[in-house]
Homo-oligomer: A and B are copies of this chain.
Amino acid sequence: MSQKKISKLNPPSTIGIIGGGQLGRMLVLDAKRMGYNVIVFDPKPNSPAGQVADEQITAVYGDLNALRNLARKTDVITYEFEHIDVDLLTLLEYEGYTIYPSAKTLRLIQNKFVQKSMLNNIGIKVPEFYLINTLKELRDVFYKFGQKAILKTCRDGYDGKGNLVLNDINKLEENYQIFRGLEIMAEEFIHFTKEVSIIVAKNHDDIVLYPIAENFHENSILINSLIPANISVEIEKQIHIMSKKIVEELDDFGIFCIEFFIDSDSNVLVNEIAPRPHNSGHYTIEGCVSSQFEQHIRIITGMPLGSPKLRLPCAMYNILGNEHVAGTYSVSGVDAILNIKDCHFHLYGKLESKHLKKIGHITVLDDSVGKANHQAKIALSKIKID
């Protein structure tokens, strides 16, 4: 495989994590279990990850001196979200600090146009896409796509932010103006029948593929995942081949989540790649032998990969803030959730809630996906955010 080799860091080496949200928190919990020290970098004090880390450096993400301070105090750096100034990471690498995945990979993934161009180049099917520089270009593409398309900012989108569905020629100019000044692209609207994703772990020796999750979104926010996905063996095989090809092309180290659309003709298209643990992989905490978080810690410390084996079928549901609460909140109904067999409750310690904000999740394990999903729906209906 790769010529590069990751330095072996035995505990208690120190890991730096840029970003103090829930993904960082779950990384810290596994890193601490394994005896590592962890320093979290986040602009808000007492972040979800900072609460469980040995230390939090509180500074804005663009603060080079603070980032350098993190680098000096740690043996390896990783991140839990993509929207970091990659030039600063490149500089830190140049200064000799180690970051996984590398700034090069992050740079490629950060720009969706570049990401999709790379996928195209290596023969991976993606929705048709065009960089848009003028309203005229957008109009041409819109007609080409049969008057239905997705308009996206090339950078900084997440959970539906930075995405617009175009379906009305009369609103095209208005839509175009929304992202004025930003680099944008238009994409073919895929009438998918399923959305699925896979967590892929790569170190210098090997690649392991986790079971494929079937994902359900509302308003572009992940509502729930069912594992294993209800797909044919043929499609599973295709996804495995595509996933390996992608991470081999990236030639980097870490956890990668690849999201796919499956259309009614059983075409499999890549939607996007995240260079980090992912919401659709939360089920791996209780559902798999080694979770995506433990796996990421293993990789960046130069340890061998763990097993992605599924113990039992799983259903994962996000706990989202509702429209009635903005600010501090309380949670009730936890007792009803904890009454459900093999239901695992996670709350991220976020200080404030808002509409559709991810504040926790539950994972239910059962003999079948159907049973797990049934129990998880009951569990989710019990929780109340006030």
Interface residues of A (CB under 8 A from B): 8, 10-12, 25, 29, 32-35, 37, 46, 51-52, 54, 289, 298, 302-304, 306-307, 309, 311, 330-332, 334-335, 338-339, 341-342, 345-349, 360, 365
CB pair A51–B29 under 8 Å, yes or no, is no
Interchain nearest-CB distance for A293 vs B (Å): 11
- A54: chain B residues within 8 A (beta carbon): 46, 51
Copies of this chain assembled into the complex: 2
Tell me the complex Cα distance, A11–B11, Å: 31
Contact (A304, B10) CB under 8 Å given A35-B349, A52-B32: no
CB pair B34–A32 under 8 Å, yes or no, is no
Interchain nearest-CB distance for A310 vs B (Å): 12
CB pair A339–B304 under 8 Å, yes or no, is yes
Nearest residue in B to A304 (C-beta to C-beta)? B339
CB pair A342–B33 under 8 Å, yes or no, is no
Interchain nearest-CB distance for A124 vs B (Å): 31
CB pair B32–A332 under 8 Å, yes or no, is no
- A311: chain B residues within 8 A (beta carbon): 311
CB pair A51–B35 under 8 Å, yes or no, is no
- A346: chain B residues within 8 A (beta carbon): 33-35
CB pair A303–B334 under 8 Å, yes or no, is yes
Tell me the complex Cα distance, A289–B332, Å: 23
Contact of A349 among B8, B32, B309, B338 (CB under 8 A): B32
- A338: chain B residues within 8 A (beta carbon): 298, 303-304, 306
